[in-house]
Amino acid sequence: MAQIGLGINKVTVIKAQSGLGVPATGSGGQVLRRVTSVAKETSASYATNEILSHNQSTGVQLGSRSTEWALDGELSPGTYSTLLAALLRKAFTATTASTGNVTVTSTSIACGTADFLTNGFKIGDVARITAGTFANAVNRDNNFLVTGVTAGTLTGVTVNGTTLIAEGPIAAATVTVVGKKSIVPLTGHTDTLFTVEEWQKDIAESEVFPDMRIGKADVSIPASGNATIKFEGKGLGVRTLGTSQVLTTPTAETTTPVLTSARGILMVNGVESSLVTSASFSVDGTLAAIGPVVGSNFAPDMSRGKVMVSGTFSVAYEDHSLSTLFSSETKLSLTTILTADNTNAADFTSFTMSAIKLTGDSPTDGEAGIIRTFPFTAEINNLGGAALANDKTIITVQDSAA
């Protein structure tokens, strides 16, 4: 009896290509964690319309071909930063740290000789004091969500609810934006293509999908449970079937913890909310194949439209404050931070949309507590930019392990 390939024994590997039509090979790929990964080749089909004396169909012809990839995962720090950077069209980069005489209060971090705005600190960033001799241990290496920025002062709250203790000025202290960030940039957009390999190691079967671009990501944060992320990719070239692994000796999967809704913080318009019951959003790069073209089974390339961001969040009905913002078409901000645990310096992934507009406020009814659902659409924050308090972008992603 033939051995059957098992999903538990499949390995999904990605590797960035050097350019269009240049499939990646060899070492240097990355094994991805997954719930499911389904890559497939698709083909247009054309049924014949002929009428013949035998009263039967003469079949179908196959036309233009492409590939598709759907990856469902549970969100964890560092795991999907490569895919998110490709979708946002900018690599994750570090922010310049600020060093000087630092003074701490319960709601602020001030640095007398450094300019937070010039260095690129923004509302929605998670920062830490990473150097300096502080008498109060809670002040060092504690995730601090920035809700306001001036040249010399960050205001905000700790992510895990601990309280900073007034102290300082402390000489030679350093304030750092944790990990790296990616945004949809104003210029210099990257165009990353991947080779995706599904390696069925138990039966030595390989399927390779080149020229794959990331077109969409869906993030879901339930009322209770694991945060999830789903990616959609589209490819141009035909898959290659083989019996040897093509993306050899890849880097092993990340080991960071899965993020849950029980740990973290959600800010609506700069105020921490304890009433949000769930949230979800999509980042859509509006990816579409160009073509087909006569004489080829494959599209020559893909078009990338503008990046669109939309979603919903649900809130236990307490008052009309959010409904008033919906009725007045007032723009607001939404920041979601999910942490690996409740320690001061926990790993995390965060998403900030600093200019969203609510597009509804539908309530539930019945014998349970009333929940209002607020769909929203994000847009570029034209009030942001270099040396300003917000990024001039539609969405910012920060990853402590990127």
Which pLDDT score is estimated for 292?
A: 61
Q: How confident is the model at residue 309 (pLDDT cuts 50, 70, 90)?
A: very high
Which pLDDT score is estimated for 108?
A: 96
Q: Which of 62-66, 232-236, 250-254 is the most confident on average?
A: 250-254
Burial 224-260 (b: 16+ CB within 10 A, else e): eebbbbbbbbbbbbbbeeeeebbbeebeeebebebbb
Which pLDDT score is estimated for 42?
A: 85
Tell me the percentage of the chain whose pLDDT exceeds 90.
Answer: 70
> Could you tell me the two tokens for 28?
């240097």
Which pLDDT score is estimated for 298?
A: 60
Which pLDDT score is estimated for 261?
A: 72
Task: Report the pLDDT averaged over residues 163-192.
Answer: 96
Task: Report the pLDDT averaged over residues 199-203.
Answer: 94
Between 274 and 184, where is the model more confident? 184
Asked if pLDDT for residue 321 goes beyond 90, the answer is: no
Which pLDDT score is estimated for 396?
A: 97
Tell me the percentage of the chain whose pLDDT exceeds 70.
Answer: 96
Task: Report the pLDDT averaged over residues 181-207.
Answer: 96
Asked if pLDDT for residue 263 goes beyond 70, the answer is: no
Phi/psi for 172 (5° steps) reads 55, 40
Q: Give the chain's mean pLDDT.
A: 91
Cβ distance 389 to 117 under 8 Å? yes
Cβ distance 355 to 381 under 8 Å? yes
Q: Indicate whether this model's pTM tops 0.95.
A: no
Domains of the chain: 30-39+64-92+183-399 (no CATH), 98-178 (2.40.30)
Task: Report the pLDDT averaged over residues 289-318.
Answer: 77
Q: How confident is the model at residue 175 (pLDDT cuts 50, 70, 90)?
A: very high
Cβ distance 152 to 112 under 8 Å? yes
Between 371 and 289, where is the model more confident? 371
Q: How confident is the model at residue 143 (pLDDT cuts 50, 70, 90)?
A: very high
Which pLDDT score is estimated for 291?
A: 63
Closest Cα partner for 270 from 92, 66, 124?
A: 124
Q: Which segment of 111-115, 176-180, 336-340 scores lowest on mean pLDDT?
A: 111-115
Between 223 and 229, where is the model more confident? 229
Asked if pLDDT for residue 159 goes beyond 70, the answer is: yes
Which pLDDT score is estimated for 4?
A: 86
What is the distance between the alpha carbons of residues 366 and 277, in angstroms, rounded to a whole number? Answer: 17
Q: Which segment of 52-66, 77-91, 113-127, 236-250 scores lowest on mean pLDDT?
A: 52-66
- What one-character-per-residue DSSP string does 203-225 give? TTEEEEEEEEEEEEEEEEE-SSS
Cβ distance 103 to 136 under 8 Å? no
Which pLDDT score is estimated for 197?
A: 97
